[in-house]
Amino acid sequence: MSDKPIGGAGLRGQSAGSTALCTVGQTGSGLTYRGFDIKELAEKARFEEVAYLLLKGKLPNQAELDAYVTKLKGLRGLPQALKTVLEQIPASAHPMDVMRTGASMLGNLETEESFDEQQDVSDRLLAVLPSIICYWYRFSHDGVRIETETDDESVGAHFLHLLRDEAPSELHARVMNVSLILYAEHEFNASTFTARVCASTLSDMHSCVTGAIGSLRGPLHGGANEAAMDMIENWKSPEEAEREIMGMLERKEKIMGFGHAIYRESDPRNAIIKEWSERLAQDVGDTVLYPVSVRVEDVMWREKKLFCNADFFHASAYHFMDIPTKLFTPIFVCSRVTGWCAHVFEQRANNRIIRPSADYVGPEKSQWVPIEERD
């Protein structure tokens, strides 16, 4: 990877504030949430525990976790007015636009009236976002009005249950758990920064989350998992993948799911999700997509020293679980909402409006020309 100068475009390398939530590219394997290494969390934690850690500031004890899971389970229902809105959105819409509208509509129905409500508003969003996307998806694609209040113990199992009308296998629930942990938080990434900028004007939580969803949607950020899938599913063998990637690099095209703004040599989330992708490949008897993905990883490192970020092996992992590609980035939302809300709490607790300066590069003095005399 090139070592572009820090500062200037992209604000790269400049501190834009402080956080107690996360370190990226520093200690341990390179990613920690409140001091806990991502490897250990992915191996030992439940996503709901990680959500608690981020939102409440410490790991819960068993009684606290049980109470939190019960609370989240009780918050999965959709108000009728929100269902009505979701039913208006066509099947051709992008699911990230549905998420954005869902979060925004909820802000009209359950407005955060005071910052004292921020914990409850965040728990509600965490519990209800899977219901929002699955209600719309099943209504627009299958013509059914699903009941979103399931008894599943985890956010990941709840999501898969709504999508398929049946509780997921243990393996799929486990992979969803790991995936949601990996995606939960990542310091001042673009969508989180969007949420913090919005929070810095003392706006409400739904506005912060709605804006963040819009930022996550783009293919340079969360949208890369879908873009990576769209690319790799075209290739029938590792040899074909290598030929195509070489051509793309020659044409200076971006390869989605590779590179990172902060990490220089690897993204610690990749090794973890890659291992689960391999397990799922064995589970479904895949002999194409996983080997294709591994070849793309090898070629990108050999040719450009570019490594897979969190998104690349998420593509094959989700695909092996039969999740439609266009729902990949909404799953990211269902997880990252924890990080976004926790950052909004931090911003509010020590706020100054975020308002950087710009280097002016326009004309020094412009001459006013009456409209009838303009070219």
Ligand X SMILES: O=C([O-])CC(=O)C(=O)O
Ligand Y SMILES: CC(=O)SCCNC(=O)CCNC(=O)[C@H](O)C(C)(C)COP(=O)(O)OP(=O)(O)OC[C@H]1O[C@@H](n2cnc3c(N)ncnc32)[C@H](O)[C@@H]1OP(=O)(O)O
Summarize as ranges the residues that interact with ligand Y (CB under 6 A): 1-2, 4, 10, 220-222, 224, 254-261, 306, 309-311
Residues 97-136 interacting with ligand X (rule: CB under 6 A): none
Q: Supply the angle between the helices 118-142 and 47-56 in degrees, to the nearest 10.
A: 140
The answer to whether residue 172 is catalytic is no
Rg, Å, the chain Cα set: 22
* H helix runs in 203-311, sequence order: 205-216, 224-232, 238-250, 268-284, 289-304
194 near ligand X, rule: CB under 6 A: no
Catalytic: which of 94, 221, 283, 298?
A: 221
Query: Is the Cβ of residue 238 or residue 268 nearer to ligand X in the bound state?
Result: 268
Q: Shortest gap between Cβ of 212 and ligand X (angstroms)?
A: 10
Residue nearest to ligand Y (CB): 259
Residue 2 binds which of ligand Y, ligand X, none (CB < 5-8 A, kind-dependent): ligand Y
| Residues facing residue 308 across a β-bridge | 258
The answer to whether residue 186 is catalytic is no
Using the rule CB under 6 A, which residue among 186, 206, 274, 314 binds ligand X? 186
Residue 220 binds which of ligand Y, ligand X, none (CB < 5-8 A, kind-dependent): ligand Y
Identify the CA nearest to 55 among candidates 249, 281, 335, 355: 335
Query: Is the Cβ of residue 122 or residue 309 nearer to ligand X in the bound state?
Result: 309
11 near ligand X, rule: CB under 6 A: no
CA distances from 118 to 22, 88, 111, 225 (A): 20, 29, 11, 30
Question: Under 8 Å CB-to-CB from 64, ≥6 apart: which residues?
Answer: 52
Using the rule CB under 6 A, which residue among 45, 310, 317, 344 binds ligand X? 310
What's the one-letter identity of residue 194? T
Residue 148 binds which of ligand Y, ligand X, none (CB < 5-8 A, kind-dependent): none
Burial 120-149 (b: 16+ CB within 10 A, else e): ebbbbbbbbbbbbbbbbbbbbeeeeebebe
The answer to whether residue 260 is catalytic is yes
